[in-house]
């Protein structure tokens, strides 16, 4: 596991370089659960903090987002990134993920976070059946947490389980999952194949409107 000092050393120069090159309207996100890394990244030009643990591993990250006015994406994760696939157990994955995410949203609001997103954590400590259930239940999750949903399905292991494809060959499976996410109410998606996914989104979003 990468320590905070090394994490900062890796990401801060990249963020500063991107900030200097990208248009002002382009938002840069830092993916970390470490409060110190988040603060350094925001100082360098990031405006969004994506924490896969939803502020559970280092609660101070919520205060960093609140103090700086950054948006925060609260992911669902039990355990740690290193241990998340051990002892997976859900009685009702949709109800449990929804309730746990709602609690993280409440925690973020209590410390003053203003722009809050929730991520059901597809692939993070979930088996195939859990990931599919969450994708099917996005409208219910959205209503439960009360904030926009960001969904990451691109090239994930559950797509490989369904298609038998390695990560580098999951573009079509990812496109199908992205379409399902958008039709289910996801406000944003996290992807690898950006250009191709723009076409997927154009079609999926058209289906949402008369």
Residues labelled catalytic:
156, 190
Give CA–CA dist 6/12, Å, rounded. 10
Three-state DSSP state, 140: helix
Beta bridge partners of 48: 29, 71
Angle at Cα 25 formed by Cα 197 and Cα 117, nearest 5°?
65
Q: Is residue 125 left, alpha or beta, with left meaning phi > 0 and alpha meaning psi from -120 to 50?
A: left
Instruction: Give the whole-angstrom CA distance, residue 37 versus residue 24.
Output: 22
For residue 22, CA distances in Å to 25, 28, 52, 62, 188 come to: 8, 9, 25, 26, 20
CB atoms within 10 A of CB 112: 12
């Amino acid at each position: 596991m990468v320590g905070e000092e090394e994490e900062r050393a890796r990401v801060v120069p990249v963020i500063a370089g991107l900030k200097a090159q990208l248009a002002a309207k382009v938002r840069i996100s830092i993916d970390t659960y470490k409060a110190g890394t988040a603060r350094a990244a925001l100082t360098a030009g990031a405006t969004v903090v994506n924490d896969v643990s939803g502020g559970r591993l280092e609660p101070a990250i919520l205060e960093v987002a609140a103090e700086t006015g950054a948006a925060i994406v609260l992911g669902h994760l039990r355990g740690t990134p290193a241990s998340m696939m051990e002892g997976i157990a859900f009685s009702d994955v949709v109800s449990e993920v929804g309730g746990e995410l709602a609690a993280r949203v409440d925690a973020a609001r209590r410390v003053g976070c203003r722009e809050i997103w929730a991520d059901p954590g597809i692939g993070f400590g979930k088996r195939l059946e859990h990931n599919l259930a969450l994708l099917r239940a996005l409208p219910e999750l959205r209503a439960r947490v009360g904030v926009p949903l960001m969904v990451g399905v691109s090239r994930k292991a559950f797509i490989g389980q369904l298609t038998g494809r390695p990560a580098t060959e999951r573009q079509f499976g990812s496109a199908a999952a992205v379409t399902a996410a958008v039709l289910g109410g996801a406000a944003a998606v996290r992807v690898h194949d950006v250009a191709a996914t723009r076409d997927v989104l154009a079609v999926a979003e058209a289906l949402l409107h008369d």
